[in-house]
């Protein structure tokens, strides 16, 4: 079988940085899908791209589509044959329409009945033809955020197309899109080598040809060049760069020939809060900031130019300095205006800011009042020594939403409030709580560092969830416009990892009570609490399902998840126990107990206690004694959060459980004896239910 590399390059006007990668990847997916659906063998595939091109390269592509046999199904046999067994017009029409001989028709048994069928031999076509026929359709359907027309063309694309390269080996794949015909000519750097240059389908040769015209087509290569330049320039300035992978990824797709350069701004601007400077330079100019050995911001930045000559680079650096100075002057003005009055004076302005339409208390000032109540209720149990700081932080935590800086840069909310609180000489605990109350902001983000910060962050997330659920704004499928799943995961991490020791039921109940008028809570509030608990259970299952088997997660959650901090340790201990050879018979014994108890729960009188005087067989006494002796050790281990020890103690019950089932008929004729044995098993079930519902575990 003959093989050759496939190269497709679409050359355009400058493509938005956020579209280059996803667009090229979508093109790759479509072309690989075309090859695979057509049965064309191929090797490794990858995408490359710059602001002016999206490229797909596939190695070892078969030059011919293989011949194949296709099964064709026609009408039901009752319509395809007459009473004499002859083919009807329906069958003859099917054969003619499919281009097969009538003699090739036969009866096919299917799940839906007997149908007329035929097998058709289909000749494979050249891959050049196959791909050429589909590429225009692929380009028409690539999922860009926005598409545009140009000139008098009716076709649309992300940007006007200037050239198309389409090669399979040395052969040009002949096709046309938007008036541009495919060929072997690519485009060089717009400013330094803008004429067309011939390329080949060999990947290394293709990259080298573009390097010769000042284009680094491989994003990974551009990234490395930029990183090396940043490291060198930062060292020359006596600092290190503030690592910013998001901006780095953007800049990589903004240039074809990256040239990192160092710029400087006035030290006078360092009086501006560091987050404001970093955000201003990052968001407006896509620049990188530097920190000195002490971590303080340096009056330098690193820009990445798309240029070659020293003169051009100097001009770019000077232009960036001029724009940066202007931006920072604006930022300094915003800070100066904001700090003319204390942060506390801005709390009242929140009364004019809508938080969520439809709530009985819909403003941001109302939310602050709820946060005060909620965070204090949590702090009374979790960190009673911090009540004053918690209340003060709750009052001030949203005040920066009324500032000019946050209006300009919403992503700085919390950071600006903390900076202004520090200027107002608020306590370090209050400053930290304001800064951290949005944490964790995303998966993997840091957690609040103190009890005061944690209870405020927890209150903020639960208030948002309670507000949306009270209005029926519940996440469904992939729709979660208010990011409630993220808020729930953040709340679960706070409860599970910061040592607050709070009940999930309690904090949800408090959040819903704070949201609803007291008169509405009884029926409506209880239903909302139940719905929110179910929502949190789903988030817990999703969170831990990434690490542990699904059946184990369900078993642990079914036994209780009110104390979130116990879920992961129980899962880890049971997962370790499950790896042992003796787990399957142990789980089977526990399942048997649980099934008997559940099946006969209605028969056992409420409050019935085990009576030793009703024991008939020694196995009953042995299980009773083992349960009490082992049960005390299990509960002691659980109280100490030593779940591996609790599991080990439960294992010790197995001989007594096995002996009981070997010797004892649970459903005895004597009602009192039967009830006594059921109560004994119920006690066992309650003991191991402290860890998990073993009936859910697949041994």
In this structure, of 208-217, 490-499, 660-669, the range with the lowest mean pLDDT score is 660-669
Q: In whole angstroms, what separates CA 175 from the centre of its chain?
A: 39
Q: What is the DSSP letter of 422?
A: H
The tally of CA atoms less than 13 A away on the side-chain side of residue 321 is 15
- Token look-up 């932080």 returns 393
Residue 510 has pLDDT above 80, yes or no: yes
- Decide if 120 contacts 73 (C-beta within 8 A): no
Residue 1 has pLDDT above 70, yes or no: no
pLDDT (tens digit per residue) in 114-173: 998 888 877 788 999 999 999 999 999 999 999 999 988 899 999 999 999 999 999 999
Residue 593 has pLDDT above 90, yes or no: no
Residue 689 has pLDDT above 90, yes or no: no
Task: Tell me what percent of the chain is helix, strand and coil, each rounded to the nearest 5.
Answer: 55, 15, 30
- Decide if 172 contacts 185 (C-beta within 8 A): no
Alpha helices in 75-171 (DSSP H): 77-80, 89-98, 127-141
For range 41-50, the mean pLDDT: 96
**Peptide bond preceding 440 in cis form (omega within 30 of 0):** yes
Q: What tokens were used for 496?
A: 């599970």
For range 217-238, the mean pLDDT: 96
pLDDT (0 to 100) of residue 311: 65
pLDDT (0 to 100) of residue 577: 86
In this structure, of 14-18, 593-597, 637-641, the range with the lowest mean pLDDT score is 593-597
- Decide if 528 contacts 512 (C-beta within 8 A): yes
Closest to 177 measured CA to CA, from 138, 145, 143: 138
pLDDT (0 to 100) of residue 123: 79
pLDDT (0 to 100) of residue 73: 87
For range 88-105, the mean pLDDT: 87
pLDDT (0 to 100) of residue 654: 85
pLDDT (0 to 100) of residue 699: 62
Mean confidence (pLDDT) of the chain:
92
pLDDT (0 to 100) of residue 309: 67
Q: Give me the phi and psi of 483, to 5 degrees please.
A: 55, 40
pLDDT (tens digit per residue) in 518-565: 777 888 899 999 999 999 999 999 999 989 999 999 999 999 999 999
Give the C-alpha separation, 635 to 640, whole Å: 9
List of domains in the chain: 3-65+126-211 (3.30.70), 68-122 (no CATH), 219-338 (no CATH), 346-546 (no CATH), 564-696 (1.10.730)
pLDDT range class, residue 642, cuts 50, 70, 90 = very high
Give the C-alpha separation, 186 to 165, whole Å: 6
- Token look-up 């819903």 returns 512
Q: What percent of the chain has pLDDT over 70?
A: 99
In this structure, of 340-344, 587-591, 595-599, the range with the lowest mean pLDDT score is 587-591
Residue 13's CB is within 10 A of a number of other CB atoms, namely 15
pLDDT (tens digit per residue) in 306-320: 876 666 777 887 888
Residue 102 has pLDDT above 90, yes or no: no
pLDDT (tens digit per residue) in 331-380: 999 999 999 999 999 999 999 999 999 998 999 999 999 999 999 999 99
Give the C-alpha separation, 620 to 674, whole Å: 12
pLDDT (0 to 100) of residue 563: 95
pLDDT (0 to 100) of residue 522: 80
């Amino acid at each position: 079988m003959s093989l050759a590399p496939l190269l497709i390059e679409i050359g355009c006007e400058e493509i938005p940085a956020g579209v280059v990668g996803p667009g090229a990847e979508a093109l790759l997916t479509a072309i690989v899908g075309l090859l695979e659906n057509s049965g064309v063998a191929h090797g490794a595939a990858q995408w490359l791209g710059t602001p002016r091109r999206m490229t797909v390269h596939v190695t070892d592509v078969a030059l011919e589509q293989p011949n194949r046999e296709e099964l064709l199904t026609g009408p039901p046999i009752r319509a395809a044959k007459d009473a004499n067994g002859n083919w009807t017009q329906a069958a003859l029409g099917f054969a003619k329409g499919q281009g097969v001989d009538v003699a090739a028709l036969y009866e096919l048994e299917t799940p839906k009945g007997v149908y007329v069928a035929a097998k058709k031999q289909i000749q494979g076509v050249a891959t050049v033809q196959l791909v050429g026929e589909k590429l225009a359709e692929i380009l028409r359907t690539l999922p860009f955020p926005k598409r545009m027309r140009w000139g008098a063309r009716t076709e649309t694309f992300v940007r006007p197309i200037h050239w198309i390269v389409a090669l399979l080996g040395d052969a040009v794949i002949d096709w046309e899109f938007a008036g541009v015909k495919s060929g072997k000519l690519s485009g060089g750097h717009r400013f330094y080598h803008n004429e067309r240059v011939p390329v080949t389908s060999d990947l290394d040769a293709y990259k080298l040809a573009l390097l010769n015209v000042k284009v680094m087509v491989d994003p990974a290569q551009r990234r490395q060049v930029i990183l090396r330049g940043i490291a060198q320039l930062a060292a020359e300035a006596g600092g290190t760069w503030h690592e910013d992978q998001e901006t780095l990824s953007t800049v990589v797709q903004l240039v074809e020939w990256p040239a990192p350069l160092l710029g400087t701004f006035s030290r006078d601007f360092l009086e501006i809060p560091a987050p404001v400077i970093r955000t201003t330079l990052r968001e407006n100019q896509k620049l990188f900031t530097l920190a000195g050995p002490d971590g303080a911001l340096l009056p330098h930045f690193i820009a990445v130019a798309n240029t070659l000559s020293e003169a051009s680079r100097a001009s770019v650096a000077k232009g960036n300095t001029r724009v940066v100075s202007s931006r920072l002057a604006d930022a300094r003005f915003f800070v100066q205006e904001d700090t003319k009055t204390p942060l506390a004076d801005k709390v009242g302005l929140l009364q004019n800011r809508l938080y969520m339409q439809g709530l009985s208390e819909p403003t941001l000032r109302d939310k602050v009042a709820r946060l005060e109540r909620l965070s204090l209720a949590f702090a009374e149990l979790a960190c009673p020594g911090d009540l004053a700081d918690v209340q003060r932080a709750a009052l001030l935590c949203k005040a920066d939403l009324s500032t000019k800086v946050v209006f300009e840069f919403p992503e700085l909310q919390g950071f600006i409030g903390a900076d202004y609180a520090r200027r107002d000489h608020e306590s370090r605990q209050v400053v930290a709580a304001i800064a951290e109350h949005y944490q964790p902001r995303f998966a993997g983000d840091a957690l609040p560092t103190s009890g005061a910060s944690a209870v405020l962050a927890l209150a903020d997330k639960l208030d948002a969830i309670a507000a949306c659920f009270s209005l029926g704004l519940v996440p469904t499928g992939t729709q979660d416009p208010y990011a409630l799943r993220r808020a729930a995961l953040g709340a679960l991490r706070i409860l599970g990892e910061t040592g607050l020791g709070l009940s999930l039921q309690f904090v949800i109940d408090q959040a819903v009570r704070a949201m609803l008028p007291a008169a509405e809570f009884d029926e409506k509030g209880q239903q909302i609490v139940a719905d929110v608990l179910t929502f949190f259970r789903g988030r817990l299952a999703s969170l831990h399902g990434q690490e542990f088997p699904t059946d184990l997660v369900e078993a642990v959650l079914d036994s209780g998840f009110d104390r979130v901090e116990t879920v992961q340790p129980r899962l880890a201990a049971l997962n370790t126990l499950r790896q042992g050879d003796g787990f399957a018979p142990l789980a089977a014994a526990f399942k048997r107990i649980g099934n008997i108890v559940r099946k006969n729960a209605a028969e056992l009188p409420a409050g019935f206690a085990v009576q030793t005087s009703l024991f008939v067989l020694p196995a009953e006494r042995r299980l009773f004694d083992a349960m009490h002796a082992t049960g005390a050790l299990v509960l002691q281990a659980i109280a100490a959060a030593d779940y591996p020890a609790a599991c080990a103690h439960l294992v010790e019950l197995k001989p007594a459980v096995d002996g009981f089932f070997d010797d004892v008929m649970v459903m005895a004729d004597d009602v009192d004896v039967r009830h006594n044995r059921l109560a004994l098993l119920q006690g066992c079930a309650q003991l191991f239910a402290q860890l998990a519902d073993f009936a859910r575990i697949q041994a």
